[in-house]
Amino acid sequence: MRRRPPRHPRPSLRPDTEPSPDSAAGRLDYANSVLGAGSFAVALMLYAGYLYITAFYSYFHLGTFAVGFDSLEFALRSLRLVTLPVFAALALVFLVPHVPELLSLLGVDEPRVRAVRECGHRLARLGPLLIAVGVVLMALWRHLHSFTWLAPLCVAAGLLLGQTSAAARGRRRRRGWERALSLLVAGVFLMWVVALEAGDLGRRDARRAGDRLVNRVAVVVLSTERLSMTGPGVAVEDLGRDLHYRYRYSGLRLLVERDHRYYVLPLGWRHDRDATYVIEDDDSVRVELRPGSRRQAAAAPRAGRP
């Protein structure tokens, strides 16, 4: 009688270990954190761009929605706030928590690395002190002048430091709603910082643009009828009845163009006394755009000078 060969158990196609609920919850929390941070960044960009554009064009007596800006322009204008100091501050914020690891890679002695790590833990526990400093600065708001953004920044930094693992050592674990409330309040204060800086930057850029109108695009308006457009630096010429466009207006500079509407300023425009003109491009008006001139080229050279 022939013996049957022993049967070997077939390898199971199922994995030996299934993902634990804790790891799945961790990935979900990570995805929610990334989504929340991205949504906050987009909202912050739109908010900053809106405030910058509002501050800039209100200097020229224009409303943001009257001109007709869209959300893409808000987002693009928000990049005006991203300067070298901002990049340096962001790089420092991301680098500081990894200083001990960096020192270890550089071969620094372990006791010194531990001392640096302990110093970082102590600094992380200074969150309440930063919040108190921010409250004091708010009380001194009138004396801060162009540094008012420091007050909400200190409060936001203190609240965010309180959410770090280093600050939580030796303390009871915070509940979910407590962490969410702290992050929400910190986000509000960060938006306040952005609002202050965006408005201030928009007004500074507007004043600079008003002082350098001669460098902007030159506008020549040809019209069939006489226009009620006067101002310092505006030149009006009557080209004769035989021409379709009889009147010619020059000495204007382009501020912005939207939907066949040209917002122009006279060369001698002043914020506190002069108007911004809105020219509708239709059959009775022709608008010509020409290159602006530099300040040096605006004045004619004197004869006989080398």
Select, from the ranges 71-85, 113-127, 246-260, 289-303, the one with the highest average predicted confidence (pLDDT). 246-260
Question: In the chain, what percentage of residues exceed pLDDT 90?
Answer: 25
> 3-class SS at 3?
coil
Q: What share of the chain is helix, strand, coil (3-state, %, to 5)?
A: 55, 10, 35
Report which listed range, 12-16, 107-111, 241-245, is most confident: 241-245
Q: How far is CA 211 from CA 156, 268, 270, in A?
A: 36, 9, 9
pLDDT for res 7: 58
Task: Report the pLDDT value the prediction gives residue 296, as an integer from 0 to 100.
Answer: 42
- DSSP letter assigned to residue 244: S
Tens-digit pLDDT profile for residues 270-291: 988 888 999 988 888 999 998 8
Higher pLDDT, 13 or 37: 37
Q: Buried b / exposed e across 211-234, counting CB within 10 Å, b at 16+?
A: eebbbbebbebbbeeebebebebb
CB neighbour list of residue 160: distance below 8 Å, 6 or more residues apart: 127, 183, 186
Question: 237 by DSSP, 3-state: which?
Answer: strand
φ, ψ of residue 107 in degrees (nearest 5): 85, 20
Please count the other Cβ atoms lying within 10 Å of the Cβ belonging to residue 82: 12
Nearest to 276 by CA among 213, 226, 222, 225: 213
Name residue 140's amino acid.
L
Confidence (pLDDT) at 206: 94
Q: Pairing mode, if any, of strands 261-266 and 218-223?
A: unpaired
pLDDT value of position 84 = 75
pLDDT of residue 162: 78
Report the predicted TM-score, pTM, of the whole model to 2 decimal places.
0.73
Q: What is the pLDDT of residues 231-267, one digit of tens each?
A: 888 899 998 888 888 999 999 999 999 888 899 999 9
